Amino acid sequence: MKKLFLNAMMICAVAFAGSANAAVIHNMQNGKLVGASGITIAGENYRVSFGNSCASMFDGCKSSLFDFKTENAAVAALDALFSQVFVDNVMINGVRYNFDSKPELVNSCDTQGFCEIWVPYLDLGNGTVQSAWHVNTSNGDYVGSNNWYGPYTYGNGEEYMAFTNFEKMTAAVPEPASLALLGLGLMGMRLSRKKKTV
């Protein structure tokens, strides 16, 4: 009976073991969300920072510094932000923040209850950039445009918008799940006992 119990525990430990996943980490400074890390976009891990224009975020709006090069990729980044970062009930150092219902908490967004989030993806030349942008309001979120054209300096001095600068994070070695370690430990104990009795 004891042998059956140990075998069942090992099988369960290995079968239900999953890898450890990191949560999104929100970066607050002076009461504003200046960035976040641990964002998953198309299976890759990213960090993001928020600023007031394409020019300020990408050294004069240099397309070589854009993180995403297509409309689909920019929209996927926005979708990830709205589902993983701009959420309510986030605890940071014992303080609860509601980034979805209070979009003015985002750096560069100072208009109560409203914030446009921009992801530039294509330099059209002559000082013009193509961007995707979605809107976060206290009453709901919606798509502004997935292919807006405008000047590099668009957004300078505006209180209702934030441009994003993403950076792909280097892949860390994944931490083994606790149940997998437990299963391996139990299996090792079982094998060591078998050797002693032989």
Starting at the edge strand that comes first in sequence, how are the strands of the sheet with 32-41 ordered?
Answer: 25-29, 32-41, 44-51, 161-168, 114-125, 128-137, 140-151
C-beta of residue 78 within 8 angstroms of C-beta of residue 84? no
Cα–Cα distance between 68 and 20 in angstroms, integer? 27
Residue 164's nearest CA partner among 129, 121, 101 is 121
Residue 88 CB partners (closer than 8 Å, separation 6+): 98, 99, 100, 101
* AA identity, residue 19: S
Asked if 134 contacts 86 with a C-beta cutoff of 8 angstroms, the reply is no
- Measured between alpha carbons, how far is 46 from 83 in angstroms, rounded to an integer? 14
* E strand or H helix that includes residue 162: strand 161-168
> pTM of the full predicted structure?
0.74
Say how many C-beta atoms besides its own lie within 10 A of residue 190's C-beta: 14
Residue by residue, pLDDT tens for the chain (198 residues) are 556 554 555 554 444 444 444 689 999 999 999 999 999 999 999 999 999 888 888 998 899 999 999 999 999 999 999 999 999 999 999 999 999 999 999 999 999 999 999 999 999 988 899 999 999 999 989 898 888 988 888 777 789 999 999 999 986 545 556 666 666 676 667 766 666 555
DSSP string, 5-31: HHHHHHHHHHHT-----PPPEEEEETT
CA distances from 60 to 19, 128, 152, 155, 168 (A): 41, 11, 7, 13, 21
